[in-house]
Chains A and B, each alone.
Chain A
């Protein structure tokens, strides 16, 4: 029984559900209470103690169905009906002896098992043999053949083959048919296990690669996946830095203030004053270049912007190619995909005119900018040889707490051709190259760290 749970937990971990040891113990306690008999109840209750978010619940449900697929339940019942209080080693012992029985009497057992066509019994035998063969350690699809062979050996396929050789022609035909069926059964089992224990290897790898790939090189088909990744990043950053802007010292008596306030009561202290600190709520004005020159990266910069507006309060978002447009409302009303394609469609693909855009920006937001505002500009700083509008940016810079510029081009390309990064950079607190999700995470994390 314990063995079953341990393997199930391992399967859950393989499908990217983080199950801690404490939680597996909870699961064991739960099973003690409700037993293995009622499949629906078991699924419901294990899901309560093992899957701790709504996405996890979905994955749990899939994994559970794959692991405890309907016929296997009978097998667990058979296993489970040994004394449940028996400890782990005894449990394993039981399984091994069952298998040993199968092996010793193999000539008759396996042959009779396949000839009886008792499918449930056969599946239990396969499952036990698989457990002994250590199929839970399977990692690669190339290992399928090896594990199949091992399981078949443990089941005693040789004895069955001997039987086939010794029997007369009618039986032989029938037995070889059954042998093929048996092999198919084992193959199915191994396939299921492979699926179970390696379910998540591929997305993990993909995630890792996508984090490092330059933003401009990400393919459109990965967009959906990237969206999740960026959202995860934004949420993580906010959670990480949330604690920086909280009230620090509430619940402490401010003695000095209390004494002063109570002077009028002749020093009798009726009115108590508590120490408190103001919550710092930074405002962010984010501007994103969506012109033709950065069109590939723009999708993801916008995506990031979208995630930021979702998780941080008080973000005003703008997009521009030659004219600036506020997209805060668009972001709030539409889903990420719609909002981004809408913004790109409406404002994108033009040729950049930083001078015009920045003067527009100044006119729109300057009144709103104060010492708490962070201005975040994402663009390549290529102004098609027109005036980059440094003076406008400088006026914004004077008002704002900080102006940050993230450039999707590598540093070596700056100041070449029509890039005006040097001049624009002079009116910023910080200029950085931001090429991949990893860069984005690092930069924004730094920004937020120094924000308070």
Chain B
């Protein structure tokens, strides 16, 4: 293993990933591609943090498409537990079967004279109702069972409880999960795991330690232009330049919620629908609500629209 070729080979692999993600419509900088590369090389999950709307979830989707593996998604929320995330018994089905099989049970019990004898007979059928037939696999188990491997997206992990976070550790460390009734389930192929977090609460160190940590900031204007170009190709390049410049200016202001990339894309689509050729004050005022989601913010920047629009149009 020679050192020089190592760096070059990984550099090439990273560029390949970057290009591959771009073909799925996900334009990203080097750091994101590096994260995907390292995650694959070390077989470790990636924890993605960053402001809302910078494409954390999109990265998982694009990677799934690029790697040609199914995407399995687990949306976290307060109160999510293993019954919703891992597996559950189909209680309804179990109960229904017991009812339907009631007569059959009567037949089976026939001839058993004592209570003990009936019990013994029942014990022989114990596991009929606890096998995979009655098991409802939830996203995590589905991931482990996937034949070709899968991309698992655990979305907004910060919304889940701490217990659930602890429960995830076994999965993230060894790609296996222990189920009391069945035993340990190991992944057929190591899945590619993405976790996203909006940092509404501090995640545990144990979880962070098991993951590669990727922070996605807002893109710079060059990257954002590329993203808009790939997502809204019908937008003229001069207008693209202007709206990205405008949004970048907005991000420097004190707003309740600064516009994210997804909002820039929405705005670009809106302008395409309106057949806009160039930004002007009226147009910005009319369409600003696609960009800013709080009436307060819209009111606050009203006086500055004039200056910002001119700066955006003049900037070259």
Contact pattern, A 82-104, Cβ under 8 Å of B = 1, otherwise 0 = 00110000000000000000000
A244 to chain B, nearest CB (A): 10
Residues of the B chain whose Cβ atoms lie less than 8 Å from the Cβ of A77 = 3
> Looking across the interface, which residue of chain B has its beta carbon closest to that of A50?
B213
| Stretch with Cβ within 8 A of B (4 or more), from A40-48, A377-385, A421-429 | A40-48
Interface residues of A in 225-251 (CB under 8 A from B): 235-236, 238-239, 242-243, 246-247, 250-251
Determine whether the beta carbon of B95 is less than 8 Å from that of A44.
Answer: no
Is B99 part of the binding interface, using a Cβ–Cβ cutoff of 8 Å? yes
A250 to B85, CA, bound (A): 12
Is B278 part of the binding interface, using a Cβ–Cβ cutoff of 8 Å? no
Contact of B99 among A238, A239, A268 (CB under 8 A): A268
Determine whether the beta carbon of A80 is less than 8 Å from that of B3.
Answer: yes
| Stretch with Cβ within 8 A of B (4 or more), from A29-37, A286-294, A359-367 | A29-37
Residues of the B chain whose Cβ atoms lie less than 8 Å from the Cβ of A84 = 1, 3
Contact of B34 among A18, A45, A57 (CB under 8 A): A45
Interface residues of A in 196-249 (CB under 8 A from B): 235-236, 238-239, 242-243, 246-247
Residues of the A chain whose Cβ atoms lie less than 8 Å from the Cβ of B201 = 235, 238-239, 242
A42 to chain B, nearest CB (A): 8
Given the known inter-chain contacts A251-B83, A272-B95, please indicate yes or no for A52 contacting B14, CB distance below 8 A. Answer: no
Is A269 part of the binding interface, using a Cβ–Cβ cutoff of 8 Å? yes
Determine whether the beta carbon of B38 is less than 8 Å from that of A48.
Answer: yes
Is B25 part of the binding interface, using a Cβ–Cβ cutoff of 8 Å? no
Is A118 part of the binding interface, using a Cβ–Cβ cutoff of 8 Å? no
Determine whether the beta carbon of B34 is less than 8 Å from that of A37.
Answer: no
| Stretch with Cβ within 8 A of A (4 or more), from B68-76, B108-116, B202-210, B239-247 | B202-210
A29 to chain B, nearest CB (A): 5
A57 to B82, CA, bound (A): 33
Is B181 part of the binding interface, using a Cβ–Cβ cutoff of 8 Å? no
A279 to B88, CA, bound (A): 22
> Looking across the interface, which residue of chain B has its beta carbon closest to that of A39?
B7
Contact of A269 among B8, B14, B99 (CB under 8 A): B99
> What are 15 of the A-B contact pairs (CB < 8 Å)?
A33-B41, A36-B3, A37-B6, A37-B8, A48-B212, A49-B212, A52-B208, A77-B3, A85-B1, A242-B162, A242-B201, A251-B81, A251-B84, A269-B96, A272-B95
Determine whether the beta carbon of A29 is less than 8 Å from that of B84.
Answer: no
> Looking across the interface, which residue of chain B has its beta carbon closest to that of A57?
B215
Contact pattern, B 1-23, Cβ under 8 Å of A = 1, otherwise 0 = 10110111011001000000000
Given the known inter-chain contacts A33-B6, A41-B7, A270-B96, please indicate yes or no for A246 contacting B202, CB distance below 8 A. Answer: no
Residues of the A chain whose Cβ atoms lie less than 8 Å from the Cβ of B92 = 269-270, 272
Contact pattern, A 404-433, Cβ under 8 Å of B = 1, otherwise 0 = 000000000000000000000000000000
Interface residues of B in 20-49 (CB under 8 A from A): 30-31, 34-35, 38, 41-42, 44, 47, 49
A98 to chain B, nearest CB (A): 18
Residues of the B chain whose Cβ atoms lie less than 8 Å from the Cβ of A36 = 3, 7
Determine whether the beta carbon of B213 is less than 8 Å from that of A26.
Answer: no
> Looking across the interface, which residue of chain A has its beta carbon closest to that of B213?
A52
Known: A53-B213, A272-B95. 5 other contacts (CB 8 A): A37-B7, A44-B34, A48-B38, A49-B42, A52-B209
Is A20 part of the binding interface, using a Cβ–Cβ cutoff of 8 Å? yes
Determine whether the beta carbon of A239 is less than 8 Å from that of B202.
Answer: yes
B21 to chain A, nearest CB (A): 16
Is B304 part of the binding interface, using a Cβ–Cβ cutoff of 8 Å? no
Residues of the A chain whose Cβ atoms lie less than 8 Å from the Cβ of B96 = 268-270
Residues of the B chain whose Cβ atoms lie less than 8 Å from the Cβ of A116 = none
Given the known inter-chain contacts A48-B35, A235-B202, A251-B82, please indicate yes or no for A38 contacting B212, CB distance below 8 A. Answer: no
Residues of the B chain whose Cβ atoms lie less than 8 Å from the Cβ of A166 = none
A48 to B212, CA, bound (A): 5
Given the known inter-chain contacts A26-B44, A51-B213, A235-B202, please indicate yes or no for A333 contacting B31, CB distance below 8 A. Answer: no
A77 to B7, CA, bound (A): 12
> Looking across the interface, which residue of chain B has its beta carbon closest to that of A267?
B99
Determine whether the beta carbon of A243 is less than 8 Å from that of B162.
Answer: yes
Contact pattern, A 326-369, Cβ under 8 Å of B = 1, otherwise 0 = 00000001010000000000000000000000000000000000
Determine whether the beta carbon of A22 is less than 8 Å from that of B83.
Answer: no
Is B296 part of the binding interface, using a Cβ–Cβ cutoff of 8 Å? yes
Inter-chain CB contacts under 8 Å: number: 130
A314 to B257, CA, bound (A): 20
Given the known inter-chain contacts A38-B7, A41-B11, A54-B49, please indicate yes or no for A33 contacting B38, CB distance below 8 A. Answer: yes
Residues of the B chain whose Cβ atoms lie less than 8 Å from the Cβ of A236 = 202
> Which residues of B does A touch, CB under 8 Å?
1, 3-4, 6-8, 10-11, 14, 30-31, 34-35, 38, 41-42, 44, 47, 49, 78-79, 81-84, 88, 91-92, 95-96, 99, 161-163, 201-202, 205, 208-215, 254, 256, 296
A429 to chain B, nearest CB (A): 28
Residues of the A chain whose Cβ atoms lie less than 8 Å from the Cβ of B213 = 48-49, 51-53
Residues of the A chain whose Cβ atoms lie less than 8 Å from the Cβ of B41 = 29-30, 33
7 tightest A-B CB contacts, nearest first: A251-B83, A35-B6, A37-B7, A269-B95, A38-B7, A35-B7, A52-B208
Is A140 part of the binding interface, using a Cβ–Cβ cutoff of 8 Å? no
A49 to B44, CA, bound (A): 10
> Looking across the interface, which residue of chain A has its beta carbon closest to that of B201?
A239
Residues of the A chain whose Cβ atoms lie less than 8 Å from the Cβ of B4 = 35, 37
A51 to B47, CA, bound (A): 12
B7 to chain A, nearest CB (A): 4
> Looking across the interface, which residue of chain A has its beta carbon closest to that of B296?
A333
B13 to chain A, nearest CB (A): 9
Residues of the A chain whose Cβ atoms lie less than 8 Å from the Cβ of B49 = 53-54
Which of A18, A37, A335 has the most chain B CB atoms inside 10 A of its CB? Answer: A37
Residues of the A chain whose Cβ atoms lie less than 8 Å from the Cβ of B79 = 246-247, 250, 279
Is A450 part of the binding interface, using a Cβ–Cβ cutoff of 8 Å? no
A84 to B44, CA, bound (A): 23
A13 to chain B, nearest CB (A): 14
A278 to chain B, nearest CB (A): 11
A84 to B4, CA, bound (A): 12
Is A184 part of the binding interface, using a Cβ–Cβ cutoff of 8 Å? no
Is A23 part of the binding interface, using a Cβ–Cβ cutoff of 8 Å? yes
A38 to B12, CA, bound (A): 12
Is A253 part of the binding interface, using a Cβ–Cβ cutoff of 8 Å? yes
Determine whether the beta carbon of B11 is less than 8 Å from that of A23.
Answer: no
A76 to chain B, nearest CB (A): 10
Given the known inter-chain contacts A267-B99, A269-B99, please indicate yes or no for A35 contacting B38, CB distance below 8 A. Answer: no
Residues of the B chain whose Cβ atoms lie less than 8 Å from the Cβ of A268 = 95-96, 99
Residues of the B chain whose Cβ atoms lie less than 8 Å from the Cβ of A45 = 34, 38
Is A142 part of the binding interface, using a Cβ–Cβ cutoff of 8 Å? no
Contact of A243 among B3, B38, B163 (CB under 8 A): B163
Determine whether the beta carbon of A251 is less than 8 Å from that of B91.
Answer: no
Residues of the A chain whose Cβ atoms lie less than 8 Å from the Cβ of B215 = 53-54, 57
